[in-house]
Structure 1
Amino acid sequence: MQASLATEPGGLAPNEDWAAASPSLAVVLDGLSTGGLDTGCSHGVPWYVAQLGGRIIAELSGSGIALTEGLARALEQVAMLHAECDLSNPGTPSATVSILREGPASLDFLILADSPVVFEGEDGYTVHTDLRVDSVVPELRAETELYATGSPEHQAAVQRMITAQRLTRNAPGGYWVAASGPEAAEHAVVGVASRDAVSAAAVMSDGVSRLVTEYGMATWADVFKMLRDGGPTSLIRYVREVEATDPVGQRWPRYKAGDDAAVIFCQQ
């Protein structure tokens, strides 16, 4: 498959998204914000996503192993790289994971948390994602929407929400992300699509998908047209233009004025 990609930070802080592609793989990671809270780790989220992403590519390139097995192996390897850190801390660096792999007759995908894989076909657009995080601590999520994005009150509300979310992260009844243990891989959403039924695919972080799902400023058809006409960079640029019209989250309440964004556009 032919793949083009782009990723950029949402502000002045280092980019916590990560994206890479090979002739048969597309991988997007979205590092979870720490909200300034303790992680028990001397490494930052950008380090974590770079280490994990590289190992996912290494495990799955030229390999026929299941996507879940490749992710589990990569998680184990990264945990060994910073075993001196407190990996039991509920805020240990973590990330969403989305993987698309091309085979001779099929497209395999894996999704852990809310970075979607979207297929374009003759019948329209099929979105695969994992929204379990939306079901935890809804009252604290709603509280963050009461304040202007970036205000002291908003930052405090986001910290309260993240603190509570961490207690449900990678736990029964909560939601699952890539963190310190390989067991998270077994909780990923996985599936297979026929290559003949897919004309193009996009793998992205929610910093991009929110243009459709939260802002409602584009359809998936619009997104794929932008990807074809101007590539991933132009799509992210449009997301930023939309966000700039609502810098304090009055129209679209959110945790940051601009979130890190990553997208890989795949065509056969």
Structure 2
Amino acid sequence: MYVSVATEAGGLAPNEDWVAGTPTLAVVLDGLSTAGLDTGCRHGVPWYVAQLGGHLVAALAESDRQLTDGLADALDRVARLHPECDLKNPGTPSATVAILRERTGSFDHLVLADSPVILEGDSGVTVLTDLRVDDVCRDLRTETEQFQTGTPEHRASVARLVAAQRAIRNTEDGYWVAASTPEAALHALVGTTPADGVRSAAVMSDGVSRLVTEYRMATWEGVLDKLREEGPVSLIRSVREVEAMDPHGQRWPRYKAGDDAAIAFCRRV
């Protein structure tokens, strides 16, 4: 398959998204916000997603390897890179994971948390995502949405929300993300789709998918058409234009005015 990629920070802070593509693989990672709270790690989220992404691509170089096995191996290898850090800290750097891999006659996918994989076929569009995070901390999320983005009240509310999410992250009572232990890979959602049912696909962080899911300023069909005609950079530009219409998060409440964005667009060749 032909894979085109793009990523862009949502503001002045370093980009915490990561994307890569090969002729058979597309990977997107979305680093989770630390909200200024302690992580126990001196490296930071951008370092973590870069290391995890590189090791993940290497681990999946063998096309017959299970995606969950490759993710578990990558998580273990990254943890070994910084044993001096407190990897048991609930705020240890972490990320969502979305993977699409082409094999002879089929496409495999893996999603861990809310970075989706979008498949386009003759029967329409299929959205593959993991929204377990939406089932936790609903009251705190509602509280955060009451404040204008960027205000002291909003920042304090986001910090409370992130702290509460950390307490149940990677537990049976919460939701799962890639962090410091291979166990998270076992909780990813995986599947296989026959290749003849897929014309194109997009793997993206929620900084892109929110154009459809949160802002409702596009449809999945429209997103795929734009990717086909203009490419990933143009799609991210569309997200920024929408965000600029509501810089204080009053129409579309969110954690920050502009979110990091990453996308891999895949076309069969």
Please say whether Structure 1 and Structure 2 have the same fold, judged by a TM-score greater than 0.5: yes
How far has the Cα of 1:257 moved from its partner? 0.3
1:250 aligns with 2:226: no
Q: Which amino acid aligns with 1:199?
A: R
Secondary structure of the residue aligned to 1:236 is helix
Alpha-carbon deviations, 1:243-263, whole Å to 9, x = none? Answer: 000000010000010000000
Instruction: Count how many residue pairs are aligned between Structure 1 and Structure 2.
Output: 268
- In the other structure, the counterpart of 1:213 is 213
After TM superposition, the structure 1 stretch with the greater mean CA deviation from structure 2, 62-71 or 201-210, is 62-71
Q: Normalization by structure 2: what TM-score?
A: 0.99
| More off after superposition, 106-115 vs 58-67 | 58-67
Amino acid across the alignment from 1:175: Y
> What are the ranges of 5 or more consecutive residues in structure 1 without an aligned counterpart?
none
Secondary structure at the residue paired with 1:28?
strand
Question: Over residues 74-95 of structure 1, what are the superposed CA-to-partner deviations in whole Å (9 max), with x where a residue is unaligned?
Answer: 0000000011100000000000
Partner of 2:224 in structure 1? 224
Alignment identity in percent? 68
User: Quick check: 1:147–1:153 contact (8 Å CA) kept in 2?
Assistant: yes
Amino acid in the other structure paired with 2:190: V
User: Residue 205 of structure 1 contacts residue 262 of structure 1 at CA under 8 Å; is this kept in 2?
Assistant: yes
- 4+ residue runs of structure 1 moved beyond 6 angstroms? none
Instruction: Report what 2:170 is aligned to.
Output: 170
Distance across 2 between alignment mates of 1:229 and 1:242: 19
- 3-state SS of the aligned residue for 1:203? strand
Letter in 1 for 2:114: D
Distance 2:173 2:34 in 1: 21
TM-score, normalised to structure 1, is 0.99
- 2:87 is aligned to 87
Query: How many Å separate the matches in 2 of 1:138 and 1:76?
Result: 32
CA contact (8 A) 1:24 1:61 kept: no
Which residue is equivalent to 1:200? 200
Partner of 2:48: 48
Which residue in the other structure is 1:267 paired with? 267
Deviations 1:211-252 (CA, angstroms, capped at 9, x unpaired): 000000000011011101110000000000000000000100
Instruction: Show structure 2 runs of 5+ residues with no match.
Output: none
Is it true that 1:70 corresponds to 2:70 in the alignment? yes
1:13-46 Cα offsets, whole Å, 9 max, x none, are: 0000000011100000000010000000001100
8 Å CA contact 1:32–1:96 kept in 2: the answer is: yes
- Per the TM alignment, residue 62 of structure 1 is displaced from its structure 2 partner at its CA by 3.0
